[in-house]
Chain A
Amino acid sequence: MKQPLQLQINGESRQMLVEPFYSLLDCLRDEAQLTGAKKGCDEGDCGACTVLMDGQPVTSCLVLAHSAHHADITTIEGLASVAALSPVQRAFVEHGGLQCGFCIPGLIMSATGFLQSNPNPTEEDVRFAIGGNLCRCTGYARVVEAIMAAAAEMRAAQ
């Protein structure tokens, strides 16, 4: 039976009725109507469902929705303001770090979480940080370029 659940999503408190066996991903997509996080494998392997919990990237398909009430959850919908994309989103656009786009919300959430704690990464650090995100189109080269460029821009803006 669905149970009441209050989650902090993108700075808003959301009250929902959620099945006890729902993953955070199912809760975000089916109950909160936030479909940016994608269901690729539903096994934690592809990273398309990545969101931030208290700033840390997690595969939301492996999180029990009801266990997440303590955390600040950020989804791809929470990054851009009305006026502007986030620096990471903008860098993906400017560097062509995307093709079909299915994996991109997850990649951008991984990159965003990573750059918050590692503002000055090497390319090797970036590749390690996105090791849990599968992309079958880009070959990752421009994705890595975009994340390095976003890091440089965010450092310059400090």
Chain B
Amino acid sequence: MARFNYLEPHSLDEALRMLADGGDGVRLVAGSTDFLIRWRTGFWRPDAVVCMQHVPGLDAISFNDADGLSLGAMATVQAIEQHDVIRQRYPALAAGATAFAGVQVRNLATIGGNACNASPAGDTLPALLAYDAQCRIVGPAGERWLPLTEFFQGPGRTALQPGEILTELRLPPPPPRTGGLYIKHSPRGAMDISAIGAAAVVSLADDGACRRVSIALGAVAPVPMRANAAEGRLIGQQPTAANIAEAARIAAQSTNPISDVRSGAGYRRDMVQVLTQRTLQHAVATAAGGPAPFGELRRLALQTAI
């Protein structure tokens, strides 16, 4: 068994110094739920870990109408799932959080950790993409902001440079008359990795046409992805059943899935069409009246059978 040392910074500056001093041998850990599993299998063998849990302020969640939602990278998935403003204003993100693992893992796992792990199947990631999340990244050269769409570089690979830390995700305020949903499709309801995940967020104009549409998909490409062509098919159009069906068909075409133990590639592509259609329909149906009660959102978010 590969041993490692435990380092515990109490400020962001101290964490940055530990990363700089340790070089390639250190690994940043957030909730440690992915880290300990991958360390036990021998996949990750750091000399030391830098544990971010005791850096104050990194787990803050705040919202205001001007700036939107700020998620500290160390905010837990459970804190996001339980947050009233997120349930009201960012229901697709609340759905992604509630579909995530089980409560014991949600209490540990963080939103920043889920992003940095960069799994194509990360359950919070399609919703973050659909709400146009921006990443605040702090490193030796200072601070930079990067759209989350550019953050994912491949399975387990991100745009973070050596010595950099993701500290915050910021989601702009959704316009009025916006609805959204994320659906996770997996053989088992809890504690399973998504076979396919789909998020849609739709904002309607006064005449009922789609003013803004985002569709984001998980586990159907090397990275969590936006389906831009499908979005373009709906923007400016009335959200009729035919238009939604056509957008869902285009979304399925835009994916690049693999076959693995959870699904065949063909099944994944077919299910993208089904799930995209359902999330779009729900987003449109709830755009005017506000999100479904959370109990219903939870039932919709976890689809073990189609």
A62 to B38, CA, bound (A): 11
Cβ A21 vs Cβ B105 within 8 A: no
| Docked complex Cα distance between A53 and B104 (Å) | 10
Annotate A56-74 by CB proximity to B: 1 below 8 A, 0 otherwise. Answer: 1111011110110010000
Contacts of B101 in A (CB 8 A): 44, 132
Instruction: Give the Cβ gap from A58 to chain B, nearest Cβ, in Å.
Output: 5
CB of A127, distance to nearest CB on chain B (Å): 9
5 more contacts with CB within 8 A, not counting A21-B39, A43-B40, A44-B101, are: A61-B36, A62-B31, A64-B32, A64-B36, A134-B191
Flag if A58 contacts B36 (CB, 8 Å).
Answer: no
Asked if residues A110 and B104 are in contact (CB atoms below 8 Å), the reply is yes
The majority secondary structure among interface residues of chain A is mixed
Answer whether A58 and B298 are a contact pair too, CB < 8 Å, given A44-B37, A131-B189: no
* A-B residue pairs in contact (CB < 8 Å), sample of 10: A21-B1, A44-B104, A44-B105, A57-B103, A59-B105, A61-B36, A63-B108, A64-B29, A114-B103, A129-B103
CA distance A44 to B101 in the complex (A): 9
Nearest chain A residue, comparing its CB with the CB of B41 = A43
* A57 CA / B35 CA spacing, docked (Å): 19
Within 8 A of A (CB), among B100-134: 101-105, 107-108
A67 contact from B3, B51, B78, B298, Cβ within 8 A:
B51
Q: A37-87: which have CB < 8 Å to B?
A: 42-45, 47, 50, 53, 56-59, 61-64, 66-67, 70
B43 located at the interface, meaning its Cβ lies under 8 Å from any Cβ of chain A in the complex: no
**How far, in whole Å, are A110 and B29 apart by their CA atoms in the complex?**
25
* B190, A20: Cβ atoms closer than 8 Å: no
Q: Please measure, in the bound complex, the distance between the C-alpha atom of A42 and the C-alpha atom of B39, giving whole angstroms.
A: 12
For this complex, into which size category does the number of interface residues on chain B fall?
20 to 34
Question: Are A132's CB and B5's CB within 8 A?
Answer: no
A58 touching B107, Cβ below 8 Å? yes
Known: A53-B107, A124-B295. A20 touches B6 (CB 8 A): yes
Task: Report how far A64 CA is from B8 CA in the complex, Å.
Answer: 11
The answer to whether A47 and B3 touch (CB under 8 A), given A58-B108, A64-B36, is no
Inside 8 A of A57's CB, which chain B residues have their CB? 103-104, 107
Report A-chain residues with C-beta under 8 Å of the C-beta of B49. Answer: 64
Nearest CB of A to B296, in Å: 11
| Set of chain B residues within 8 Å of A47, measured between Cβ atoms | 102, 104
> How many whole Å from A131's CB to the nearest CB in chain B?
3
In the assembled complex, B4 has its CB within 8 A of some CB on chain A: yes
Q: Once the chains are docked, how many angstroms separate the CA of A119 from the CA of B228?
A: 45
Q: In this complex, what residue of B is CB-closest to A56? A: B107
Kindly state the separation between the CA atoms of A59 and B104 in the bound complex, as whole angstroms.
5
CB distance from B50 to the nearest CB of A (A): 11
- The residue that A42 contacts in the complex, of B31, B40, B295, with Cβ under 8 A, is B40
- The answer to whether A13 has its CB under 8 Å from any CB of chain B is no
A133 located at the interface, meaning its Cβ lies under 8 Å from any Cβ of chain B in the complex: yes
CB distance from A120 to the nearest CB of B (A): 13
Give the docked Cα–Cα distance between A50 and B108 (Å).
12
Residue of B nearest to A68 (CB): B53
B33 in the interface (beta carbon within 8 A): yes
Closest chain B residue, CB of each to CB of A20 = B6
A140 CB to nearest B CB, Å: 12
B104, A58: Cβ atoms closer than 8 Å: yes
Q: Are B3 and A20 in contact (CB under 8 A)?
A: yes
CB distance from A54 to the nearest CB of B (A): 9
B residues in contact with A110, CB < 8 Å: 103-104
Shortest Cβ distance from residue B6 to the other chain A in the assembled complex, whole angstroms? 4
Closest to A71 in B: B53
